[in-house]
Amino acid sequence: MKRKLLSCIVALIMSFLVVMEVSAASTTRLGGQDRFDVSINVSKNGWKTSSTVVLANWDAYGDALAAGPLAYKHNAPILLTKSNVLNSRTKSEIQRLKTKSVIIVGGSISVSENIVKELKNMGISVKRIAGNSRMEVANNIALEMGNSSRVVIADGFNFPDALSIAPYAARNGYPILLTNKKHNLDKSTQNIINQRKITETIISGGPLSVSDQVFKSVPNPRRFGGNSRYAVSANIAKAYFSSSSTAFVTRGTVFADALTGSVLAAKRNAPILLIKPNDLPIAIKSYIANQGVGNFTLLGGPISVSEKTNNTLRHPIVGQTIVLDPGHGGKDPGAVGNSLAEKEIVLDIAKRVNSKLNQSLANVVMTRETDVFLELQERVELAEKSGADIFVSIHVNSFSSPSANGTETYYDETHAPKESRELAEEIQKELLKALGTTDRGVKKSGFYVIKNSKMPSVLVEIAFISNGNDAKKLADTTYRQKAADAIYRGIMNYYE
Domain formed by 321-495, architecture: 3-Layer(aba) Sandwich (3.40)
Please state, in angstroms and rounded to a whole number, the distance separating the CA atoms of residues 316 and 361.
10
Q: Which of 313, 293, 423 has the alpha carbon at shortest distance from 363?
A: 293
Task: Point out the residues of the chain with pLDDT beneath 50.
Answer: 1-22
Contacts of 387 (CB under 8 A, 6+ apart): 321
Spot the catalytic one: 136, 342, 425, 461: 461
461 carries an active-site annotation: yes
Please state, in angstroms and rounded to a whole number, the distance separating the CA atoms of residues 271 and 266.
8
pLDDT at 8: 43
User: Cα–Cα distances in Å, from 72 out to 157, 175, 282, 386?
Assistant: 23, 11, 30, 35
pLDDT at 24: 65
pLDDT at 292: 86
Task: Read off the pTM.
Answer: 0.86
The domain limits of the chain are: 35-313, 321-495
Q: Which of 492, 493, 495, 462 has the alpha carbon at shortest distance from 357?
A: 492
Please state, in angstroms and rounded to a whole number, the distance separating the CA atoms of residues 35 and 87.
11
Please state, in angstroms and rounded to a whole number, the distance separating the CA atoms of residues 95 and 4.
50
Backbone angles phi, psi at 438, to 5 degrees: -70, 135
pLDDT at 19: 35
pLDDT digits 0-9 by tens, 265-323:
999 999 999 999 889 999 999 999 988 899 999 999 999 999 999 999 999 999 899 99
